[in-house]
Amino acid sequence: MSTVLVTGGSGFIAGWCIRELLEAGHDVRTTVRDLRREAGVRAQLHAATDFDDARLTVLAADLQGDAGWSDAAGGTDFVLHVASPTLRGAAMDEAEMIAAARDGVLRVLRASRDAGVKRVVLTSASGAIVYGHPDESRPFTEEDWTDVTADIAPYPKSKTLAERAAWEFVAREGDGLELAVVNPTAVLGPMLGEDDPPSLRVVRGLLGGAFPVCPPFGTGWVDVRDVADLHLRAMTDPAAVGERFLATSGRSLRVVEIAGILRERLGDRAAKVPTREMPVFVARAMGVVNPQLRALRPQLGHDFPSTGAKAERVLGWKPRSVDESLVDTAESILAYSAAS
């Protein structure tokens, strides 16, 4: 088996990637910005699977600095670059977010190339594909790119520019380094610990009554376990080299449809979940004073349909249904809420 570096080991997607790698027999290194998080990372993984502690190494490295990356990549066969600036914690302005994402990708790629890594799998996002297009009448595919000159939020803009920088680096300076990219839609699924993944905040908000009515937008959805599976397939399959893969269950659902599934499947435990969708014009007007709606402004009124057919056809990937993923997500959120 191989030695694999997973960046951002305390994150939602990275944690599941590490779990899948350990269960597949690989040795894993992972990075965190602060080694004080190592104990938490190990505890989450031990709760999720059995493994020898010697097979997991946790190292300190920050995407905004060069220190630690050559040590992290040295002696590894593959790299899953999952870490990226996110929407949690202190606010980061657009320029800072773009620079952090792009420069972080380039740091990891340079370290991987210099260490003789065979392949890097980059976690991008559907946000690098679906935004800024006037026509949403067909599902978006890997051939599409987000228009960064359009009115879009900083996070998808940063993911788009970071992914483009990655492809350009490999083409010009990669020196044989292979690259594959995974572009997940909105990520659902059970938590490995008591973290607050930004991708689960819509479901958490619906269950907790944070939304009196549903925000008016839709998107594709995918389970984090299937995202991790796709990363491992893209890591090892020769057909993945030089390719992007949308990770989506194939159904673009509006938030009000998600709410309906939760109420149907969870019964009384979803009593706070709203049943109506806010009109788009109201949501846009309220976004002037409501920070949550303001952050959703580029999504309001859109559905962003996309297809994971390429990953299914090329890599044999089979995502689970949105309904199954939603129930598992809700059960996980409710369990941690009850325990806290």
What is the DSSP pairing of strand 178-184 with strand 244-247?
parallel
Strands of the sheet with 119-123, listed across from one edge: 56-60, 27-32, 3-6, 78-81, 119-123, 178-184, 244-247
State pLDDT tens for residues 113-171.
999 999 999 999 999 999 999 888 899 999 999 999 998 888 899 999 999 999 999 99
Verify whether residue 272 is a known catalytic residue.
no
Chain centroid, CA 120 distance in Å: 16
- Could you list the beta-strand ranges (E) of the chain: 3-6, 27-32, 56-60, 78-81, 119-123, 178-184, 186-188, 218-223, 244-247, 252-254
Backbone angles phi, psi at 97, to 5 degrees: -65, -45
Domain that includes residue 159, residue range: 3-339
Q: How many distinct structural domains can be found in the chain?
A: 1
Distance CA 136, CA 45 (A): 40
State pLDDT tens for residues 308-331.
999 999 999 999 999 999 999 999
DSSP bridge partners of 58: 30
Q: Any residues with CB less than 8 A from the CB of 92 and at least 6 apart, and which? A: 85, 100, 154
**pLDDT higher than 70, residue 37:** yes
State pLDDT tens for residues 217-258.
999 999 999 999 999 999 999 999 999 999 999 889 999 999
Encoded tokens for 26: 């690989």
- Using CA atoms, how far residue 332 sits from 133, 189, 269, in Å, is 35, 8, 13
In the DSSP assignment, the letter for residue 253 is: E
In terms of DSSP H, where are the helices of 174-288?
201-208, 224-236, 255-266, 280-286
User: Which residue among 159, 272, 310, 318 is the active-site one?
Assistant: 159
278: domain CATH number? Answer: 3.40.50.720
- pTM score above 0.75: yes
In one letter, which amino acid is 82? V
Report the percentage of the chain scoring pLDDT > 90. 80
pLDDT the model gives residue 340: 64
- Residue whose C-alpha is closest to residue 17's, from 180, 192, 227, 181: 227
